[in-house]
Structure 1
Amino acid sequence: MIDLYTWATPNGRKVSIALEEMGLPYEAHAIDITKDEQFDPAFLKIAPNNKIPAIVDRDNGLTLMESGAILIYLAEKSGKLLPTEPVARMKTLEWLMWQMGGFGPMLGQAHQYLKFNKGKAPFAEERFAKEVRRLYGVLDTQLGREQYVAGEYSIADLSIWPWASRHEWQEISLHDFPNVKRWYVELAGREAVQKGYHVPKFTQDIPMP
């Protein structure tokens, strides 16, 4: 049994969607970051960096933070969504790292400047708007070559899709990126994605292009 500490954010949804796709039993615990619950001492024992998501594996007592590390761990635990063949495995990890190092952080900055603080920092708005479009272009090119990001459906897709689900916050029209749109809509139709998206609570329907 996995205890999942999470909130309705792209990083949180990565893990809840993965748990649903992998069929691993879990219990979700809401950490309301709008009320600073991520700074609670009990949560900090699990996630010293005071960020969601985090997990505790009751089977072995492991505590784990950082969504990318959690995805790898759950994939290895379940034997799903991470290839064992060395080349395919590394391609999956390559795109997972692309999300962790670029797509997620840059889109997160775009949210701050394009949605929550519009008009306060024109240079930052322009910089992150351009970078967001560049990253979507990279993703669109890759998805023009492959059905899924790393070839087969994997944790790479699960790491990227929740961030793309906030395309409206990023002032992105998925119609400008047809391969991303095709992939995004396909994943949005998966039962596990729909269930995981609404953990730990319903906030809105999945945004569709």
Structure 2
Amino acid sequence: MTKPTDLTLYTASVPNGIKVSSALEYLEIPYKMRALDFSTLEQKEPWYLEINPNGRVPAIVDVVDGKKTSVMESGAVLLYITDKYDPANKLSYPHGSAEYYEMIEWLFWQVGGLGPMQGQASHFVRYCQSDNPEVQAYGTNRYVNETRRLMSVLETRLHKQAAKGSKYLVGDHLSVADLACLGWVLFDTYVGIESSEFPLLNKWQDEISAIPLVKKGLDVPKPFTIKEMVKNPEAMAAASATGRNWIQKGNEAEKK
């Protein structure tokens, strides 16, 4: 097994960040962590754009035997981690197996569907302040409903897996497909979707997020408190205001 000599994770307490830190912790890969400050647009600074030209999180820089590799995009990072540091397939499946391709399917499904749609739902529910209430209502309904539909797809998948005796999205054990989706499903109530709508999905997220090493990864770079926060209107208002501020600041910077 190739061992990392100097792996650094650049991240923040967002869905795409916590799914990578959870994978690193679950595989017990030693790493350093650098939390990026969105409020100062640190993710747009030249030094970070050299690592991740897209100016988003997460990204990793891995140095092995003097050779440096930078990887951006959470799905690509998860595949890099499992390809390089998971020879026992603790969080993956053997290349070429049916389970491997199913894992890839659900990983790509998340990064191409659930993440983008739920991200837009978060924007309209928590951050958008349109002067036109019809526009805001349309955006909110469009993306929240699509997120709900995608979560129903996960619920159906878990039902099919349960019929085979599995509680995971793919095969018979936890994989990066589960962690990729978990990072977003944990934010369900943040966009106004109640976990009770999807009983199996609710049980799935509770059980996986309670795994000690996964829980450790969810708390990177700071304790994961979204479930508690959404129950506190004042805390949610403050968090929404903070998020709205850095999103607007980022928008202005990107115009330039």
SS at match of 1:168: helix
Q: TM-score, normalised by structure 2?
A: 0.78
Deviation (angstroms), 1:129: 1.7
| Contact 1:8/1:200 (8 A) holds in 2 | yes
Aligned with residue 126 of structure 2, among 115, 136, 145: 115
Aligned with residue 40 of structure 2, among 35, 39, 45: 35
Q: Could you give the per-residue CA deviations for residues 88-118 of structure 1, whole angstroms, max 9, x where no partner exists?
A: 1000000000000000000000000112227
SS at match of 2:188: coil
Q: TM-score, normalised by structure 1?
A: 0.94
Matches within 5 A, 1:93-172: 93-117=104-128, 119=133, 121-146=136-161, 147-151=167-171, 152-172=173-193
Aligned residues: 209
SS at match of 2:60: strand
Aligned with residue 197 of structure 1, among 206, 214, 218: 218
Taking only aligned residues, the RMSD between alpha carbons, in angstroms, comes to: 1.8
| Contact 2:189/2:227 (8 A) holds in 1 | no
Q: Could you give the per-residue CA deviations for residues 120-176 of structure 1, whole angstroms, max 9, x where no partner exists?
A: 611111111210111010000001122111123100011010111111112111111
**Which amino acid in the other structure matches residue 87 of structure 1?**
A
SS at match of 1:23: coil
Query: Where do 5+ consecutive residues of structure 1 fail to align?
Result: none
Q: State how far apart, in whole Å, the 2-side matches of 1:206 and 1:12 are.
A: 17
Q: State how far apart, in whole Å, the 1-side matches of 2:227 and 2:7 are.
A: 25
Query: Where do 5+ consecutive residues of structure 2 fail to align?
Result: 1-5, 162-166, 232-256
Give 1 or 2 for the bigger CA radius of gyration.
2
**Which amino acid in the other structure matches residue 148 of structure 1?**
Y
Matches within 5 A, 1:23-62: 23-59=28-64, 60-62=67-69
Q: State how far apart, in whole Å, the 2-side matches of 1:132 and 1:201 are.
A: 26
Q: State how far apart, in whole Å, the 1-side matches of 2:195 and 2:77 are.
A: 28
Flag as ranges the 4+ runs of structure 1 deviating above 4 A.
Answer: 205-209
Deviation (angstroms), 1:78: 1.5
